[in-house]
Chains A and B, each alone.
Chain A
Amino acid sequence: MLLRHTTDKVKERNALTVNPAKTCQPVGAMYAALGVHGCLPHSHGSQGCCSYHRTALTRHYKEPVMASTSSFTEGASVFGGQANLMTAIDNIFKIYEPEIVAVHSTCLSETIGDDLGQIVSKAYTDGKVPEGKHIIQAATPSYVGSHVTGYANMLEAFVKYFPEKTDEKKRQVNLLSGWVEPSDMRELKRIAGQMKVKSVLLPDTSDVLDTPMTGSYSMYPKGGTTVAEMVSMGDSMSTIAMGEWATKKAAIALDNKCKVPFEQIDIPVGLRATDRFIQALSKAGKVSVPEEVTAERGRLVDLITDMHQYLYGKRVAVYGDPDNILPLIEFLIDMDMKPVYIVSGTPGKAFSKKAEALLSERVPEAKFKNGPQADMFLMHQWIKEEGVDLIIGNTYGKYIARDEQTPFVRMGFPILDRQGHNYFPTVGYMGGIRIVEKILDAIMDKIDATCDEVKVELQM
């Protein structure tokens, strides 16, 4: 047993994280920047950071991930990284020819006190930025927040830089997306299309991190929000921001800069969160909900009705990022399941409050924790105390699932050992159907594999 050392006695820890349920800011900044067309993420720090983030993203998306690095050396750590970043900017525009360089900091550059804003503006005044090209920057110290924070900071950097307000209002709605898969981004656009709402989605990693095989390799695939689209966001009627942790900062910044009002909702995972997304779209776009959307909803409800007996009362352990798991918890409760253990490494006081509000009535026994020491070790200890029927989270749950012989559904980041997340969305009603399918498959596979021979059922 890989996790044989995990005991069921939860001991107070305050200096140690074991098997983290999060990672650091820069990887989120890198992912967000990849959702902009022609953008090269740049890591201002040691080259290991850049290498690790690219590897992490490649392992999950199975796609090439390009990013450059300031390649800090000992000199940079003593004298500051300005010279490195200046050289980097020269080289990047000359060799890699991106439209935009999205610079994010690292723990090292933050600790030695590099001021990215100042360095980037110097690059502009020194004429290092070719005509029509852009550099944006976000501070993403690894010792604050998590990968979600980095995503939020980079998203904010984009909306602070690009959107412009002109006198001409555009009949379009901004969609700010939290950290979801390329397939989900594609689905968000599809749903907006179904609703006949013209939208600009930021970021948009579809056609960037799920590119088709063509026999040629392009450093900047065709997908991603374009500069023109981002500029136009300042004239949109309103913004729908999905996922508070990842998008609220950006939504506020855009409101402040261009007076585009926003509505903050959850990422549309599951039934009710999708209802809220559809309502928000309907309100923002001043459109009614078409029958085909209602029909998709109906199919999801139908599936839950049909399979309720297998879902009812099942105890579920969920871990991941707040924006993704809060609506998921709500969905599980709506399906009459019991999300009993919830862990997120990403800090934020709102998490407990929201979890409490969702759980207190229907699952009063639920335990939840986020921030420091809310890690996979704690999750495992809880599960050892009293088992669950299902675990939902990223690949790192596989050890627990195996040790405790518990059905396991992979959702979140990273998924290193299964396919499909790239292609099939989990947002929207159709995404809800996929989640239910995955949950049922996991639960029923276990029944089929382990129940008494006499009880094997053909029809389930």
Chain B
Amino acid sequence: MDAFINDRQNSILTKGKDNAAIACGKASVAGSVSQRACVFCGSRVVLYPIADALHLIHGPVGCAAYTWDIRGSLSSGPQIHRLSFTTDLKEKEVVFGGEERLYKALISLIDTYKPKGAFVYATCIVGVIGDDVEAVCRRVTREKGIDVIPVMSEGFNGTKKDGYKIACGALSKLIGTDTSFEAPEHSINILGDFNLAGELWMLAEYYKKMGVNLVAAMTGDGRVDDIRKAHKAQLNVVQCSGSMIGLAKEMKEKYGIPFMKVSYFGIEDMSDALYEVAKFFKSEEMMEKARKLVTEEISKLLPQLAQYREKLEGKKAAIYVGGAFKAISLVKALRLLGMKTVVVGSQTGNVDDYNLLKDMCDDGTIICDDSNPNELSEFVKQTGADLFIGGVKERPIAYKLGLGFCDHNHERKEALAGYEGMLNFAKEVYASVCSPVWQFMK
């Protein structure tokens, strides 16, 4: 791997060859074309789907412009989250401070949009110029009677993962503030689903069929008042563990709510996510309903999958996604389609995730953390992959290399979770890998 940055060698391993643990969770090497983003980005994507809250970005215009309506997190009601609000700081505030501007902006926004709550994101320079965002938030909370929550997400202050933690901190300030609510029995919170392409609605429907009640979704199709009640649920079901596991742990400690890690991608993991909940509630009736649901869904799904599997059998896939937990599900889902994973990596995985990946994958699979386009295109060439699964920055590179592509990130247009999602996933992978366009490449 002499073509790669020296410091990066420990973050890349090939199963069957390298035995050392992968180096991960580090800041990127300066000078790399990293595919990663920043703390602010992490906080912003986690809180973004809360649709009836105000999201005000305190900083120069860019951070607001780039995160305006950025991910397809659907809302069944309010749409305030899809607008872009910024204090648009100028030189004057950089010199004299932006607190007054922040205060005025908040007052005017709250008067106009009457949100249920507000999140104020601090961007890179806010801490440096010395604005006391927390004090302004307290003042506006007092004056306007709604929770105005500071999200201290200065971009340089860690990695995107740290941004997730900060977002969870913001959520935890809301949780428990509705003291009159009593949850019905068999109530859960869904953590770590962001309702991309309406996925949360599908999941909620599955659980409803099993007799499980949903108190709060964090944060897909999220509502401030639901989050306030979240402490009354009996169980937290956590997906995308990278972003939400911290909050689940905190809620366990604070409110005694146990949590379980699940994934909704692929038949196996999706079914487990339902069975485990039924097991938790120790309800035979619920388990029976879950079994019935799973049987129905799978018997509908499998015959439809067969035609895609036939075409995809033996093809090779490269995966590079935000969280490693998702990568794990994807390896399994691809296997169901007869496909083999030859490269797998993530922006924010931890050691446990990577160990699990190593256990699951075949010898020769390349596993990497915080990779860059040079490495990725080299890996793809080395392994002869037919498909790339990634996000917006990887898509055009994959296409240029003549690979099929599936967006498993913010820009997915079809639901990929659940049983329906598995079929969509198979369709998308098939359509891209077997597209007639590849014959015209040369």
| Residue ranges of A at the interface with B (Cβ–Cβ < 8 Å) | 2-5, 7, 11, 13-20, 22-27, 42, 45-56, 58-59, 62-74, 76-77, 84-85, 87-92, 94-96, 106-108, 111-112, 141-144, 146, 211, 213-217, 219, 345, 372, 396
Residues on A with C-beta less than 8 A from B29 are: 71, 87, 91
Report the bound CA distance from A76 to B30 in whole Å.
Answer: 11
Instruction: Bits for B27-40, please: 1 = Cβ < 8 Å to A, else 0.
Output: 11111111111111
A55 touches B392 (CB 8 A): yes
Q: How large is the interface on B (under 10, 10 to 19, 20 to 34, 35 or more residues)?
A: 35 or more
Residues on B with C-beta less than 8 A from A69 are: 28, 30-34
With A24-B61, A59-B392 as given contacts, are A47 and B441 in contact (CB-CB < 8 Å)? no
Tell whether B255 is near chain A: CB-to-CB under 8 Å. no
Instruction: Bits for B213-225, please: 1 = Cβ < 8 Å to A, else 0.
Output: 0000000000000
B61 touches A17 (CB 8 A): yes
Within the complex, what minimum Cβ distance (angstroms) separates A242 from chain B?
25
With A49-B155, A54-B393 as given contacts, are A95 and B88 in contact (CB-CB < 8 Å)? no
B109 touches A16 (CB 8 A): yes
Tell whether B65 is near chain A: CB-to-CB under 8 Å. yes
Q: Which listed residue (A26, A68, A214, A345) contacts B33, Cβ 8 A?
A: A68
Extra pairs beyond A51-B34, A69-B31 (11, CB < 8 Å)? A16-B88, A18-B84, A48-B39, A73-B158, A91-B5, A108-B125, A108-B156, A142-B60, A144-B91, A211-B400, A216-B400
With A16-B104, A24-B62 as given contacts, are A372 and B38 in contact (CB-CB < 8 Å)? no
Residues on A with C-beta less than 8 A from B28 are: 47, 69, 71
Using a CB-CB cutoff of 8 Å, which residues 150-190 of chain B contact chain A?
Answer: 154-158, 160
Report the bound CA distance from A55 to B38 in whole Å.
Answer: 13
Tell whether B108 is near chain A: CB-to-CB under 8 Å. yes
Residues on B with C-beta less than 8 A from A68 are: 31-33
Give the number of residue pairs across the A-B interface with Cβ within 8 Å.
242
Tell whether B246 is near chain A: CB-to-CB under 8 Å. no
Residues on B with C-beta less than 8 A from A17 are: 61, 64, 85-88
With A58-B392, A111-B129 as given contacts, are A213 and B399 in contact (CB-CB < 8 Å)? yes
Within the complex, what minimum Cβ distance (angstroms) separates A389 from chain B?
25
B125 touches A107 (CB 8 A): yes
Report the bound CA distance from A27 to B62 in whole Å.
Answer: 9
With A52-B66, A87-B31 as given contacts, are A108 and B158 in contact (CB-CB < 8 Å)? no
Q: Which listed residue (B66, B84, B125) contacts A111, Cβ 8 A?
A: B125
Report the bound CA distance from A13 to B4 in whole Å.
Answer: 51
A20 touches B373 (CB 8 A): no
A71 touches B84 (CB 8 A): no
Within the complex, what minimum Cβ distance (angstroms) separates A369 from chain B?
14
Residues on A with C-beta less than 8 A from B41 are: 48, 51-52
A47 touches B396 (CB 8 A): no
Q: Which listed residue (A14, A26, A64, A71) contacts B396, Cβ 8 A?
A: A64
B68 touches A396 (CB 8 A): yes
Report the bound CA distance from A19 to B85 in whole Å.
Answer: 6
A77 touches B38 (CB 8 A): no
Best-surrounded residue of A11, A23, A27, A62 (most CB of chain B within 10 A): A23
Report the bound CA distance from A58 to B411 in whole Å.
Answer: 13
Residues on A with C-beta less than 8 A from B340 are: none
A72 touches B392 (CB 8 A): no
Residues on A with C-beta less than 8 A from B94 are: 107, 111, 141, 143
Residues on B with C-beta less than 8 A from A53 are: 66
B441 touches A214 (CB 8 A): yes
B32 touches A91 (CB 8 A): yes
Residues on A with C-beta less than 8 A from B87 are: 15-17
List 10 A-B residue pairs with CB atoms under 8 Å apart, sorted by A's residue number.
Answer: A24-B61, A47-B28, A50-B34, A66-B33, A66-B373, A69-B34, A71-B30, A85-B30, A95-B3, A213-B441
B65 touches A23 (CB 8 A): yes
Report the bound CA distance from A56 to B68 in whole Å.
Answer: 11
Using a CB-CB cutoff of 8 Å, which residues 79-133 of chain B contact chain A?
Answer: 79-80, 82-91, 93-94, 100-105, 108-109, 112-113, 123-125, 127-129
Within the complex, what minimum Cβ distance (angstroms) separates B83 from chain A?
6
Within the complex, what minimum Cβ distance (angstroms) separates B52 from chain A?
12
Report the bound CA distance from A112 to B126 in whole Å.
Answer: 11
Residues on A with C-beta less than 8 A from B295 are: none
B33 touches A96 (CB 8 A): yes
A215 touches B61 (CB 8 A): no
Residues on A with C-beta less than 8 A from B40 are: 48
Tell whether B242 is near chain A: CB-to-CB under 8 Å. no
Residues on B with C-beta less than 8 A from A88 are: 30-31
B64 touches A20 (CB 8 A): yes
Report the bound CA distance from A22 to B86 in whole Å.
Answer: 12
Residues on B with C-beta less than 8 A from A345 are: 61
Residues on B with C-beta less than 8 A from A141 are: 60, 91, 94
A19 touches B83 (CB 8 A): yes
Residues on B with C-beta less than 8 A from A25 are: 62
Report the bound CA distance from A10 to B182 in whole Å.
Answer: 44
B86 touches A20 (CB 8 A): yes
